[in-house]
Structure 1
Amino acid sequence: MTEMKVQNIRLFRLHAHHLDVRRKKGCIPEIAGACGMQNTPPGAWETSLFNRVSDCSLSDMKALLFPEKSLLQAWSFRGAPVVFPVGESDAFLTALVPRDGEDWIYTQGIAGALDFLQMPFGELLDKLKQVMPLLDDRTIESKSGLDRTMAEWMLPLLPMEKRDLWNSPSLYGTPDRQTVGGAVVSFLLRPCAFLGLVVFGERAGASPAFTSYKGWLGHPLDPGEDAAGKLVRKFLHCYGPATADAFASWLGCSVKQARRMWESVSDEMEPVETCGGKKAFVLSADKDLLRSPPSVQRELLLLGGHDPYLDQRDRHILLDDKALQKKVWQTAANPGVILQRGEIIGIWAGKRKGAGIEIKMTLWDDASASKQKLQDLAEEYVAFRQQKLLKMEL
């Protein structure tokens, strides 16, 4: 097997993620469609696109979602809100629909509510699917509003003896604001998203808004003929060399589902050897590019904490020190990272204060990044956010 060096893998992935050089606005569908852009916390996808495109303002980005609707936001892999091209909806939605014996993504936590109601998962999902078409001609503001409304619409479909239980306080931490039914809906909305029954609509101030795929775009979701294969190819191109287990982790799906999808393109991949002698796979079409990746025109980058590049499952490729990895990948509110030729050399965070933003950076001992270059990058990012850089602490 061909052995792939760590630095070659980094440079290859930088190129696949469109981080080696900034592209023009016309490349946005290709860039956003590479592997999707997570939008948690809200605005994360804008930071990701900013780091890849040279001539796209914040208002331009928002226009791509609305009114142009060339990009779409919906719950996708790992149940997270993801922005992707409308034309690739099959890869980011349909591909995630499980087959017999496979679990739905992001629904494991529903078990407590099912036990409380003494109702099966499939029955409740079928009842929610019956009322979801009511979204075709309306928009609902806020996620809590969506949960509550759908739970109310489902109530008449439930057996009489289950309705009081359905309206009982939630078992999931917000009993004063959510019912058991609202919690059930919250879990089941991810499967509905994969089926094209709910997407994010035009944002209403600080709150997200929701409608159906058909209501937003004027036509139902086309499931496509090779949705699973498309998604596996995207993953391998952006994160290869990789394994089926890493694919399962990235999707947040069962190993069974990941391996079934993986096998759909097994004839398009081949094994290579990564650091430590481990076996992984690459697309055959990418092998030469991995051996000799393009040179990097941008040595230093400030990536947002949830940039797609940081979604690599083999984190040692980006950062070998396991203690420092814990500072980058946290349970919530990941910091941004300082990237040098594909390797993480520090972290950063921005804080809004008054009329601008203050940025604090931490470089690790062996880092050699120029302070002036970091200052320039900070000012560029803050200007993109239409703010002033009040202070940079290094």
Structure 2
Amino acid sequence: MLEVDRRQVLAYRIAAHGLHRDVRDAGELAVFDLGVQDVTKRDTAVLALVARLPAGAEALLDDARFTLGWTHRGAPHYHRSEEFRALIPALVPLDDADAEARMLWQRKEVTAAGMPAKDVLLTAAKALRDVVDRPMTKGSASTEVTKRIPEGFSRWCRGCQATHIHEQLMRLATPLAGLRLEPGTSPATLAPLAKRPRIPAKADVAGATRVVETYLRLHGPATAGDAAGFVGTTRKTVAERLWPSGLAEVRVAGRTAYLPAAHLAELESPPEPGVVRLLPPWDPLLQARDRATLVPDKAHQKELWKILGNPGALLADGEIAGFWRTKSAGKRLEFTLTELWPLTKAQRTEAETEAERVAAARAYPTPRITWT
């Protein structure tokens, strides 16, 4: 059994995620095999591409090669358009226990709904499909759907001061209904897919297994629990029903983890991870569920993965070496770069160059940069 340390794992992941900028076309980036999470107001998907492409940001908003949708865990992700329709059946829960886990429902919610959890999800998908026959804001779609579903599917929302469909239920049901998200819109806007597919009759187990395998390839070596955290289900579901074949066992810091065997040589001898990059919040590299591998210090983990307001991560010499934040000041973008340990002068210079790339992608002139 191959035994590796966390530095070797990080070097492998940095290469697997395309952070060496050896790919020129966004469509060829391996991170789109799993999807790139987007938070529109913070340009996270665009900035994830800035970190990976030598030519700078791709215009995701106008690029028909990519489709935005609520997919893994109900979070918005960009996927290759040619693969989006095939992904939809892989998002269907395998059974009621899987559906409950993905919807974040407890027994009391299932009882209130009055039907099995998987039926709840498919019923909500049918209502969404009936309602959203044109682009509609999330609020408008929620209002109309809530009128068509059983009362147990809804809840009182203090923020909206209204009763509407459970948030996570709506997010998970939306792709099953053949709906995507309109890029760059706020509030979120739902729209039918072209040649909208029918609601899947059953889960695509093979497709869901490929999602797990892709997670292990990009974020490996990893465990069933890690993959389950990304998918949004239970470890038992992944380990017993979605576990891929052709995996190799690897020892990492005393624990057993798994990687597709075809990529074992890349893990054993990864490229030197000497790149400096500014990763946005929710960057694909930061989506790994074994956060202690990425950032061993618990205080630093709490700073990087907050409930609200995550900073970006400063990648240097194969480590998360700091954080970064921005704020706009008139027509200028102000950067605050925070070191977790002293960087070299060359690394600081590279980080400042990366900040200029980020500012340009957000249509700002040369930024003002402060180091702390």
For the aligned pair, the TM-score class normalised by the smaller chain equals 0.7 to 0.9
Asked if the contact 1:94–1:194 (Cα under 8 Å) also holds between the matched residues in 2, the reply is no
Distance 1:39 1:335 in 2: 15
Q: Which amino acid aligns with 1:173?
A: R
Asked if the contact 1:48–1:303 (Cα under 8 Å) also holds between the matched residues in 2, the reply is yes
Matched, 1:282 2:267: no
Q: Could you tell which deviates more after superposition, 101-110 or 243-252?
A: 101-110
Shift of 1:388: 2.1
1:151 pairs, out of 138, 146, 149, with 146
Asked if the contact 1:18–1:52 (Cα under 8 Å) also holds between the matched residues in 2, the reply is yes
Distance 1:316 1:344 in 2: 11
Mapping 1:84-95, distance limit 5 Å? 84-89=79-84, 92-95=87-90
Q: What is the TM-score when the length of structure 1 is the normalising length?
A: 0.83
Matched, 1:134 2:130: yes
Structure whose alpha-carbon radius of gyration is higher: 1
CA deviation string 1:284-324 (max 9, x = no partner): 1011111111234x621111011010112222322222222
Distance 2:325 2:239 in 1: 37
Matched, 1:199 2:184: no
Instruction: Give the equivalent residue in structure 1 for 2:91.
Output: 96
Number of corresponding residues: 365
Q: Label 1:190 to 1:61 Cα distance change in 2 as closer, same or farther (>3 A).
A: closer
CA deviation string 1:110-150 (max 9, x = no partner): 76666666666455445433333335631112x22221121
Instruction: Give the equivalent residue in structure 2 for 1:40.
Output: 39
Instruction: Give the equivalent residue in structure 2 for 1:365.
Output: 341
Distance 1:172 1:96 in 2: 26
Instruction: Give the equivalent residue in structure 2 for 1:273.
Output: 251
Q: Which amino acid aligns with 2:21?
A: V
Asked if the contact 1:2–1:272 (Cα under 8 Å) also holds between the matched residues in 2, the reply is yes
Asked if the contact 1:358–1:389 (Cα under 8 Å) also holds between the matched residues in 2, the reply is no
Instruction: Give the equivalent residue in structure 2 for 1:335.
Output: 311
1:253 pairs, out of 228, 233, 253, with 233
Q: Label 1:231 to 1:261 Cα distance change in 2 as closer, same or farther (>3 A).
A: farther
Mapping 1:300-315, distance limit 5 Å? 300-315=276-291
Distance 1:71 1:318 in 2: 28
Instruction: Give the aligned CA root-mean-square deviation in angstroms.
Output: 2.8
Asked if the contact 2:145–2:165 (Cα under 8 Å) also holds between the matched residues in 1, the reply is no
Instruction: Give the equivalent residue in structure 2 for 1:183.
Output: 165
Residue 314 of structure 2 aligns to a residue in which SS? strand
Shift of 1:62: 1.6
Instruction: Give the equivalent residue in structure 1 for 2:355.
Output: 378
Q: Which amino acid aligns with 2:235?
A: V
Q: Which amino acid aligns with 2:358?
A: Y
Q: Could you tell which deviates more after superposition, 253-262 or 194-203?
A: 194-203
Instruction: Give the equivalent residue in structure 2 for 1:238.
Output: 218
Distance 1:101 1:124 in 2: 9
Q: Label 1:346 to 1:5 Cα distance change in 2 as closer, same or farther (>3 A).
A: same
Distance 1:95 1:390 in 2: 43
Asked if the contact 1:244–1:262 (Cα under 8 Å) also holds between the matched residues in 2, the reply is no
Residue 55 of structure 1 aligns to a residue in which SS? coil
Instruction: Give the equivalent residue in structure 2 for 1:324.
Output: 300
Q: Label 1:129 to 1:77 Cα distance change in 2 as closer, same or farther (>3 A).
A: closer
Instruction: Give the equivalent residue in structure 2 for 1:174.
Output: 159
Q: Label 1:92 to 1:8 Cα distance change in 2 as closer, same or farther (>3 A).
A: farther
Q: Label 1:87 to 1:230 Cα distance change in 2 as closer, same or farther (>3 A).
A: farther
Q: Label 1:54 to 1:135 Cα distance change in 2 as closer, same or farther (>3 A).
A: farther
CA deviation string 1:66-98 (max 9, x = no partner): xx2x21111111221111112323674322322
Runs of 4+ that moved beyond 6 A = 221-225
Distance 1:30 1:45 in 2: 13
Distance 1:249 1:357 in 2: 35
The percentage of counterpart residues that share the same residue type is: 24
Instruction: Give the equivalent residue in structure 1 for 2:326.
Output: 350
Q: Label 1:229 to 1:109 Cα distance change in 2 as closer, same or farther (>3 A).
A: closer
Asked if the contact 2:95–2:118 (Cα under 8 Å) also holds between the matched residues in 1, the reply is no
Q: Label 1:101 to 1:145 Cα distance change in 2 as closer, same or farther (>3 A).
A: closer
Distance 1:330 1:218 in 2: 39
Shift of 1:55: 2.7
Residue 165 of structure 2 aligns to a residue in which SS? helix
Shift of 1:198: 2.4
Q: Could you tell which deviates more after superposition, 110-119 or 239-248?
A: 110-119
Distance 2:287 2:122 in 1: 33
Distance 1:385 1:314 in 2: 31
- Structure 2 gaps, min length 5: none
Q: Label 1:342 to 1:388 Cα distance change in 2 as closer, same or farther (>3 A).
A: same
Q: Label 1:126 to 1:308 Cα distance change in 2 as closer, same or farther (>3 A).
A: closer
